[in-house]
Structure 1
Amino acid sequence: MVRGPASLLALPGAALAYFLLAPLLPALPPGAPTVLVGGSLGILAVAAATLALLPARGTVAGPLLVALGAGLMVAGLNVAGVGPGANAFEALLAAAAGLLLARVLGAPAVAVAVPVFVAVIDLYSVLTGPARRLLDTGGSAVDALSFALPAWGGGLAGRLGVSDAVFLAMFAAWAWRFGLRRRATVAAMVGGLVAALWLSVALDTAIPALPLLAAGYLLPNLDRLLELLRGQQVS
């Protein structure tokens, strides 16, 4: 059953409400409590807004229209300097991109190879490569490539890469397309994003989220992905 527009907008609307209200909530003790609470809830809100577009995975027009509308909203909100208030629309834009990529790159072999490849690249990039230098220097480049996760009472609890939301949507679309364990996959992927934040705080160093996101997609589905690959070889 295809969901109506109102139900598709419910999760992005709730995410938008959280991002706007977070600065008004009581401030938490500085340090780990602020980062973990604000960051975790921010990640969950971004994930919810991203996955809300999943019912449109079978169409091209739907994601394209969402990308156009969300892109215009993001551009306008960024010019207005609303900060985290643009997150819900950025998540929809990332989701549209992820769904379109999942549709174009629809071969079973690609659905296995891409998560492994991007996880390795992200791990290298964050720990030693250009992404690490961006994180160290900060600035507008980091702002444009990430979601600003608001802390309760004001300020930022952390950031989540826009690419993480793109791949979350892409991997989720593949989970539905190829008959993988859908609920377990979504739960594991979102859990991987949150786990990256908690590990970053515990280890006091940047932990890339994409490898844990990819693991959340691959590990619950190893047997089914192998069956897909065998079926492709036979055909």
Structure 2
Amino acid sequence: MKTFQNQVAIVTGAGQGIGLAICQQLAAQGASVVLNDIETSLAEDAAAAVRKEHGVCIPFGGDASNPAFIQEMVDEAVKQFGKLDIAVANAGITLFGDFFEYKPADFNKVMNVNLGGSFFLAQAATRQMKEQGSGGRVLFMSSVTGHQAHKNLAAYGMSKAALEMLAKTLVLELSPHQITVNAIAPGATATERTLNDPDYEATWSRITPMGKPATTEDIAHAALFLISPQAGHVTGQTLVVDGGWTSVSPSPY
């Protein structure tokens, strides 16, 4: 029996990177996956690749910060697969900017996507899980920037720290329904976006105790533990996956 056999999962922001790796591993372990990305074509291509290599996966393109869209996505998961067991709020944006010049529009966008999208996905998903009466799993995507200061990332780091507090707070709401809620805080990770920076891998390899940035698979492995049956008594926690960086915290600048 595969770990996630007969489980149904939604993963947002999963057209590439960490979200896609989570979808791949979930599908390979027997889950039926709804793969979301704001770019519909990217969601479709990613879902097709997951189906070809791993298992059951359908695309659902759209804005995962929009509560109405989030509800549509939950409804579609139930329509297609009959239930919802797992919600991974992976969608997020990073907008760098000097604190003294940071624009209200940028601040609001970061909060709307990183916090609002995660909050309302958790709300819509757990309403469904509560109705089903068979428990469930919610996972937020935090960051080491929610633990240690990074230059020009005040708003982003603030949003990620808030997600960890949201995971703790929701323990009170969700535990009576056997729904766990946790967070992952990745450190430096080699993704399509970060590898556009030619210095990224060398810089983070130098300052990470394990000698290299994480792969998307490293983060996905940790995520799958927290949403698995084996983590049924783990809730309100944040798992830092950073190769030891937060233990020493040298700046990349």
Does TM, normalized by the shorter one, top 0.5? no
TM-score of the superposition, structure 1-length normalised? Answer: 0.38
Higher strand share: 2
Higher helix share: 1
Q: Which structure would you say has the larger RCO, counting Cα contacts within 8 Å and 6 or more residues apart?
A: 1
TM-score of the superposition, structure 2-length normalised? Answer: 0.36
